[in-house]
Structure 1
Amino acid sequence: MQFSANLGFLWKELSLPDAIRAAKAAGFHAVECHFPYDTPAAEVKAALEETGLKMLGLNTIPGDVAGGEFGLCALPGREVDARAAIDQAVAYAAEIGAGAIHVMAGKAKGVEAQKMFVSKLRYACKQAAPHGITILIEPLNTYDVPGYFMTTSDHAEQIIELVDEPNIKLMFDCYHMQLMQGDLSHAIERLLPKIGHIQFASVPDRGAPDHGEVNYAHIFKVIEGLGYKAPVGAEYKPTGSTEETLDWLKDYL
């Protein structure tokens, strides 16, 4: 089993290049991030080359978070901003060799929001394809992100079918999916052909995967048993230092 460190939550006190180095020292097989854009891509690329780690993915910008935004690409009337966010993400991902981009929908609902999201995802897929980049969409739970456009895997499947591009996949976050739907083992098995990346955290506190209502030792065995080979993303919020929360990882090194 291989694991990726999500540097949006882990080692947040470090610069992104130093967080990449810390992930390597801890034994992670890859890294991923949220919004790396304040760090020059050349510095991130150098740290990846130094450590030999792959950057699995990054997100499009969330917009005005202080103003309540959490993504732009399903917001009617924000076409220009959404396209700019996609262009920015594709350019950055291509420069650092990232494999995927999570296109954030934002807080919206209704027919026009769906049309907007599908349109921008088609655009993202076409921009990303020449670089071998996969576009990811992720349902988010209604407790942490009330009002988010997409909250279930069924809706994500519908969007993927409407977009109808070969490089769009589902980001299956076990934390979000357990809160919204449960039955993770069967859900992963059913959705595996459409899954582009898997993430995890304890439920309900989004901490390390060594406690809570999900038995991750079992879930990891399910994922392995299905033949999933890519690193699985540790996207959890550490209590204290990241190093203090890594006992779970030692079982897999």
Structure 2
Amino acid sequence: MKKIGFIGCGHMASSMLNTFLSQQIFQPSQIIISETPERASQIRNSAEFQGCSIVSDNKLAASNSDILFLCVKPLAVPEVINEIKGVLNAKKQHLVSIAACVEIAAIEKFFKGRITRTLPTVISESGNGTTFITHNKSVCMASVIEIENILKSLGDVVPISENDYASAVNITSSAPGILAAIFDNYSHSAIRNTGIPKEVSDRLLLRTIFGTIKMLWENNISFRELTDKVATKGGITEASLNIIDVQLPPVFDSAVANAIAKDSEIKTLISEKIKTL
């Protein structure tokens, strides 16, 4: 059986591991996790990853892995790759990075083997997420199939160009948090303007969101088609949409532009850090 390494075990990596283990994609004996001493101690003392090997040695995790998931923060990637490059074997190992903003070319400065760039979402643990994925030229078709089959346990796997990553992050990885913030603001608006109790507002809205998504998905209709179906001319919904259609687009344009600018800023910082190594 192949050995699967994780360098970093934060929220996203933990979510991925929980899914891989619960669906028996891997057995605990196949997993080696490298974390800081404090975090490693927390993992050992929890029941979450019993049977997995927990270490505080990135080189040890890397050298003992066939597939190595790099799950550290983007700005930490150059230092980690530089640290482990001496124990990596380009013919043996497949490196899978889930670090946003870190392009494959940046990793290739340290490792010339098989590299896959991917980014699951917080909802991937439910099996309903969308994971976009890109491989470098060293990844053969057999490895493409292997990695994508592993990631399918998290939901849909969508191959995309690296040029589309910044946009894709907004649509998938960031979207659960952004949508939750929108719904939270919508619920609070109802509370402020009508006096409806928060628990009632949240429950009504959550159930409505669920039903709306189910209807869109199962009936294969567009967002605008559903909007037109609900908004009777001269009615209450149309009155709300007259405000939303005018005032929301600039808000979303600013939010997306801000996220893309942050992506570029982090990429620049990563490039500068690589030059020092």
TM-score of the superposed pair, with normalisation by structure 2: 0.30
Higher helix share: 2
Larger Rg: 2
TM-score of the superposed pair, with normalisation by structure 1: 0.32
